[in-house]
């Protein structure tokens, strides 16, 4: 399949000055692998290797067979800037005041010490850091190397310009023999031009919307089917770009000494992105580790069902380089490290999304999901320009709700209010549509999970505050309400 790669935006990052305390190294410099971190934007575990039979993802499937595929990985927030703020720091976004999507520059601060961006730790250990994208003035980068250049964090960099998190835009800029940490965002699965490009391929390569098995909260409509199928087509398109990237790694003679981590920032689609159901928080995670760097007891081609939180990815990637940040720097843990403790559950959270103010906290075990809604009088489908502009199914559900044409399961998401608590038995209710919070049979489970969320909030929400609506308006309109347009 031939791919017509679109141009990418962004300028090359200037050299950044890391200010994080140098971390201890357990490996000599010559023995340290490169680390490549790939984010497939806005994707859930919807590839062939994860059981989605309608989508063609041969490169991802092959990659998963060469590494470890994780089945229970969850981002900490179902939207870009909040999730990425946690992914790149190893700290919950509410713990560092980076919870609102998005935080405007005049509200951003530096990470509280000893926390630091993952690149700071790599750079202090002698690694070259780069965010793969086209060179300045170029529309395309080297084959398979171009990325969007997306960073999208709710805190400032430690660099003098406060915006530079990486030293360069390609691993070929590093010094001879220098190990690198490279990050790339492949944007095609994010709503936008990539979805359009995906549909320009031969019809034989596209998903047939009529063959989809929609979740019970979806209206069985051509609009919903087409949008979901288009998302899967974008997954297939991204698969081709990942194949190019991995091929370049081979061509540059780097594959045998590079750990590759492929994941996402959060889940997709109308009831996934921005919400704490699994569709918004369950993300793929696949890690390919070269021989000689494979942790003891770990084998390639295996499936791992341990809980992994988004805050675990940064310390895990640093661990491959033998970098151990000081105590208190990160809340996550190296999932292959000697001090690793299995997680019995994971926490997820939502705060303001664009101009839509809300606050939700959730905990998920293997069997149950508990969600606390702090603004129950605010509907799930409150006004949101981005959702209404980009997601046809969102508008469809709103319209059908007004007409009284939704099933009981579909109508839940369009309700005028939210319940204060939601409890779902994931063993029998994968769609999360049967709320058991008022069921006496689950009272003990409700109390236990409620207590976990209370503890999480008490520990991490100290920097959570509610913004002035005028400031929110200013942030998205770049002017005050009384100013002329």
Q: Degrees (nearest 5) of the Cα angle 398, 349, 72?
A: 100
Nearest Cα to 367, choosing from 408, 307, 438?
307
Residue ranges covered by each domain of the chain:
31-344, 360-477
Per-residue pLDDT of the chain (485 residues; tens, 9 = 90+): 333 322 222 222 222 323 333 443 445 555 899 999 999 999 999 999 999 999 999 999 999 999 999 999 999 999 999 999 999 999 999 999 999 998 888 889 999 999 999 999 999 999 999 999 988 777 665 555 568 899 999 999 999 999 999 999 999 999 999 999 999 999 999 999 999 999 999 999 999 999 999 999 999 999 999 999 999 999 999 999 999 999 999 999 999 999 999 999 999 999 999 999 999 999 999 999 999 999 988 999 999 999 999 999 999 999 999 999 999 999 999 999 999 999 999 999 999 999 999 999 999 999 999 999 999 999 999 999 999 999 999 999 999 999 999 999 999 999 999 999 999 999 999 999 999 999 999 999 999 999 999 999 999 999 998 888 888 888 888 887 787 65
**CA 163, CA 10: separation in Å to the nearest integer?**
12
Residue 71 is classified by DSSP as E
The b/e string for 456-469 (b: 16+ C-beta within 10 A; e otherwise) is bbeebbeebeeeee
Tell me the pTM.
0.92
In the chain the first and final C-alpha atoms are separated, in Å, by 47
pLDDT of 483 reads 77
In this structure, are residues 83 and 266 in contact, taking their beta carbons and an 8 Å threshold? Answer: yes
Q: Are strands 180-186 and 34-40 parallel, antiparallel or unpaired?
A: parallel
Q: What is the pLDDT of residue 161?
A: 93
Q: 96-125, pLDDT tens digit by residue?
A: 999 999 888 888 999 999 999 999 999 999
- Cis status of the peptide bond prior to 114, with omega within 30 of 0: yes
DSSP 267-315: --STTTTTSSSHHHHEEEEEEE--TTSPPTT--TTEEEEEEEEGGGHHH
pLDDT of residue 145: 57
pLDDT at 479 (0 to 100): 80
Looking at residue 2, its pLDDT comes to 33
Q: Kindly report the CATH number that applies to the domain delimited by 31-344.
A: 3.40.720.10
Measure the CA–CA gap between 341 and 336, rounded to whole angstroms: 10
């Amino acid at each position: 399949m031939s791919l017509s790669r679109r141009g990418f935006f962004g300028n090359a990052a200037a050299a950044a000055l890391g200010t994080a305390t140098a971390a201890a190294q357990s490996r000599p410099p010559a023995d340290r692998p490169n680390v490549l971190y790939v984010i497939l934007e806005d994707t859930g575990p919807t590839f062939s290797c994860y059981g989605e039979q309608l989508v063609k993802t041969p490169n991802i499937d092959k990659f998963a067979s060469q590494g470890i595929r994780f089945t229970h990985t969850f981002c900490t927030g179902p939207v870009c800037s909040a999730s990425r703020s946690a992914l790149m720091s190893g700290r919950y976004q509410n713990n560092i005041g980076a919870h609102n999507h998005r935080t405007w520059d005049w509200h951003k601060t530096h990470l509280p010490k000893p926390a630091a961006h993952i690149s700071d730790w790599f750079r202090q250990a002698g690694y070259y850091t780069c965010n793969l994208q086209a060179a300045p003035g170029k529309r395309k980068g080297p084959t398979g190397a171009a990325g969007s250049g997306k960073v999208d964090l709710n805190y400032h960099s430690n660099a003098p310009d406060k915006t530079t998190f990486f030293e360069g835009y390609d691993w070929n800029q590093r010094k001879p023999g220098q190990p690198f940490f490279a990050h790339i965002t492949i944007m095609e699965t994010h709503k936008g031009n990539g979805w359009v490009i995906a549909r320009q391929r031969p019809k034989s390569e596209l998903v047939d919307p009529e063959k989809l098995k929609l979740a019970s909260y979806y209206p069985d409509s051509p609009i919903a089917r087409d949008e979901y199928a288009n998302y899967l087509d974008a997954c297939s398109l991204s698969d081709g770009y990942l194949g190019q990237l991995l091929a370049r790694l081979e061509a540059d003679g780097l594959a045998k000494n590079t750990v590759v981590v492929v994941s996402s920032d959060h889940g997709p689609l109308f009831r996934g992105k921005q919400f704490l159901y699994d569709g918004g928080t369950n993300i793929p995670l696949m890690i390919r580790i070269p021989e000689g760097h494979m942790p003891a007891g770990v084998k390639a081609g295996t499936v791992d069902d341990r809980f992994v939180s988004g805050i675990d990815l940064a310390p895990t990637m640093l661990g491959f380089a033998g970098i151990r940040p000081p105590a208190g720097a990160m809340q996550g843990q190296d999932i292959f490290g000697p001090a690793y403790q299995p997680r019995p559950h994971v926490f997820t959270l939502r705060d303001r999304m664009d101009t839509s103010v809300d606050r939700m906290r959730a905990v998920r075990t293997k069997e149950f999901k508990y969600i606390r809604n702090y603004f129950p009088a605010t509907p799930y489908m409150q006004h949101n320009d981005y959702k209404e502009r980009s997601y046809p199914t969102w508008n469809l559900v709103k319209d059908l709700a007004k007409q009284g044409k939704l099933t009981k399961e579909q109508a839940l998401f369009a309700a005028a209010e939210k319940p204060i608590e939601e409890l779902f038995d994931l063993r029998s209710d994968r769609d999360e549509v049967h709320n058991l919070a008022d069921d006496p049979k689950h009272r003990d489970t409700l109390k236990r999970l409620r207590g976990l969320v209370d503890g999480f909030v008490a520990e991490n929400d100290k920097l959570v505050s509610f913004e002035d609506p005028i400031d929110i308006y200013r942030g998205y309109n770049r002017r005050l309400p009384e100013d002329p347009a």
